[in-house]
Amino acid sequence: MPAEAIPAFQDNYLWLMSAGSSAVVVDPGDAHVIEDALQARQLELAAILITHHHADHIGGVEQLRRQWPKARVFGPEDSRIPADIRVAEGACVDTGVEGLPQFEVLEVPGHTRSHIAYWGADELYCGDTLFIGGCGCLFEGTPQQMHASLSKIRALPDHTEIYCAHEYTLDNLEFALWVEPDNADLCAFREAAQQKRARGEPTVSSLLGIEKQCNPFLRFDAPAVVAAAERRLKREGLAEYEVFGEIRRWKDTEFD
């Protein structure tokens, strides 16, 4: 079964996976909505996967631990995260739930210095590194780091499902059209996303292949995106991370 989006706060998605009577949750910033979801589905919490330390991703961990003390908490090497099992690049995460995939850990710093993602069975739980049509702000990392992280994600198969943590899609796609106003794939994707939101549906998950066509932060080598960055910097011959960095600065300073 695909993961289920559990809405929280203003625009967060907390992800719930289940098989049989057991469940795994990703980035439970709010314990109450997870408790309600588990109770409604008659599920026991077996494991928690954490991508990074921000409160809207870890705020519910301790309360969930108290209610399900046997649930194991996986997270990166970061003392700010209350994890039982620390994992790093290439580690295999086995939640212990039969019927759910094992996940490979990808280190994807940029949004935070210790951010990780979980990839398995063609699903990527990427926290705030990649959004539909966008990417996370660089709170603790550099453009070089985030470019490397997004390049790692971009190398995954096109049919990878992207499970990110926020409903930022329409805002992201509006900015993407500033960067690439003539991108027909982007125009069609934005229209489809608008229709989903009008029906009250999430725009997440999405396919990585679509992101490669539409997301300017994955298109740092696309001629139109390169040209946009060069026009802004009034300089040619930019490295890919410089293209990415200028597009990120553009969104940070003139769009948000």
Instruction: List, in order, residues 6 or more apart from 144 with CB less than 8 Å away.
Output: 241
Q: Residues with catalytic annotation?
A: 52, 54, 56-57, 111, 128, 166
User: Pairing between strand 134-135 and 103-107?
Assistant: unpaired
What is the sign, positive or negative, of the torsion defined by CA atoms of 132, 137, 138, 140? negative
What is the DSSP secondary structure assignment for residue 97, as one 8-state letter? -
**What separation, in Å, do the N-terminal and C-terminal C-alpha atoms of the chain show?**
36
| Angstrom distance (rounded) from CA 47 to CA 72 | 5
| Angstrom distance (rounded) from CA 57 to CA 27 | 4
pLDDT tens-digit readout, 186-225: 999 999 999 999 999 999 999 999 999 999 999 999 999 9
What's the full length of the chain, in residues? 256
* Burial (Cβ within 10 Å: 0-12, 13-18, ≥19) of residue 171: middle
pLDDT at 171: 96
DSSP class per residue in 221-246: TSHHHHHHHHHHHT-SS--HHHHHHH
pLDDT tens-digit readout, 122-158: 999 999 999 999 999 999 999 999 999 999 999 999 9
**Hey, what domains does the chain have and what are their CATH numbers?**
4-255 (3.60.15.10)
| Angstrom distance (rounded) from CA 51 to CA 108 | 9
Task: Give the residue-averaged pLDDT of 220-249.
Answer: 97
- Which tokens belong to 193? 């996303």
pTM for the structure as a whole:
0.95
